[in-house]
Chain A
């Protein structure tokens, strides 16, 4: 099934410039409904009030980290199937393992390029 580029995408990062970069890259890929949150708790609140087809989240944020957000999402009956990509500078093996165990859909290490972002989105959502 083709990916609906009108679906709502939520990007989560405490660096405003990073939100801006990801938003622009997503726009170039044809996605138009992009919302932003600056930490996990804000993202969770937005997810509970909205209908997101994809979450792209940083890890290292306060007060709620990306990993905590992921666990909350996977533990929530309504949200648990939401595709969730972690985009982070945390590149240690234990981080990747922890994220995988928490149910992350894919994992991108910063700094990343548009090609990697697209490839990971395709692997999670299917071709678009």
Chain B
């Protein structure tokens, strides 16, 4: 009996191979398992039934995982949240660098004045300027830390890419019940809490004034 099942199974597997090739996408695993189970007929042992049951449970598990991953909207995470976080972090680096340079400009001007003062006052001024120089170290450190975070985000982005590829295109798109916010709906107070805008997207004071005067 077992050899009959083996032969039937081999024939069915060959038919599946012709139909789908040697590589089956994760999303198609459930179909393959169901098809195999449907093809089995006749006497099977209790052990076989247990095994088939477990394979079926595995297929259901994969299907559920797919639905849950789709509900996470991986492409939104990838294209909206991660991209936005990376831009914000780049903006932090740029802003702290500009601020540090402004502080250093002022400190250097003060430093150059110290020779015009009495030695005692000049020395005291120099000591304070040294403290400013030391404090400006932070820009380098924060820059390096932020670079590490950006790298981590890029790594997550690559993993999501791989996940979307493995589970098929429908995972990447909107899942039922997780539609995007309606952009035509009236703004709530929460919608207005966006924090600072990125420099290339922000209005300058002149455009704010123009907008303000036109409302």
Q: Do A and B bind each other?
A: yes
Query: Which chain A residues have a beta carbon within 8 Å of chain B's beta carbons?
Result: 13, 15-18, 20-21, 24-25, 28, 60, 89, 110-114
Find out whether the CB atom of A111 lies under 8 angstroms from the CB atom of B133: no
B101 CB → nearest A CB, Å:
6
| Residue B141 at the chain A interface, CB threshold 8 Å | yes
Q: Count the B residues whose beta carbon is within 8 Å of the partner chain — how many?
A: 20
Selected contact of A24 from candidates B97, B101, B104, CB within 8 Å: B104
| Residue B111 at the chain A interface, CB threshold 8 Å | yes
Write out, one digit per residue, whether chain B residues 129-141 have a CB within 8 A of any chain A CB (1) or not (0): 1100110111111
Alpha-carbon distance between A112 and B136 when the two chains are bound, in angstroms: 10
Selected contact of A21 from candidates B97, B104, B126, CB within 8 Å: B104
Find out whether the CB atom of A17 lies under 8 angstroms from the CB atom of B136: yes
A117 CB → nearest B CB, Å:
9
Find out whether the CB atom of A111 lies under 8 angstroms from the CB atom of B143: no
Query: Which chain B residues have a beta carbon within 8 Å of chain A's beta carbons?
Result: 97, 100-101, 104, 107-108, 111, 126, 129-130, 133-134, 136-141, 143-144
Find out whether the CB atom of B130 lies under 8 angstroms from the CB atom of A28: yes
| B contact residues around A18 at 8 Å (CB) | 137, 139-140
Alpha-carbon distance between A60 and B143 when the two chains are bound, in angstroms: 12
Given contacts A15-B139, A111-B138, 15 further A-B contacts (CB under 8 A): A13-B140, A17-B97, A17-B104, A18-B137, A20-B101, A21-B134, A24-B107, A24-B108, A25-B133, A28-B111, A60-B144, A89-B140, A111-B140, A113-B134, A114-B133
Whether A111 contacts B111 in the complex (CB less than 8 A), given A17-B104, A17-B139, comes out as no
Find out whether the CB atom of B143 lies under 8 angstroms from the CB atom of A21: no
Selected contact of A111 from candidates B101, B126, B134, CB within 8 Å: B134
Alpha-carbon distance between A113 and B140 when the two chains are bound, in angstroms: 14
Find out whether the CB atom of A112 lies under 8 angstroms from the CB atom of B137: yes
Find out whether the CB atom of B140 lies under 8 angstroms from the CB atom of A15: yes
Which of B101, B108, B143, B144 has the most chain A CB atoms closer than 10 A to its own CB?
Answer: B144
Find out whether the CB atom of B133 lies under 8 angstroms from the CB atom of A21: yes
Which of A16, A20, A21, A28 has the most chain B CB atoms closer than 10 A to its own CB?
Answer: A21
| A contact residues around B107 at 8 Å (CB) | 24
A55 CB → nearest B CB, Å:
18
Find out whether the CB atom of A111 lies under 8 angstroms from the CB atom of B144: no
Find out whether the CB atom of A15 lies under 8 angstroms from the CB atom of B126: no
The residue of chain B having its C-beta at the shortest distance from the C-beta of A15 within the complex is B140
The residue of chain A having its C-beta at the shortest distance from the C-beta of B103 within the complex is A17
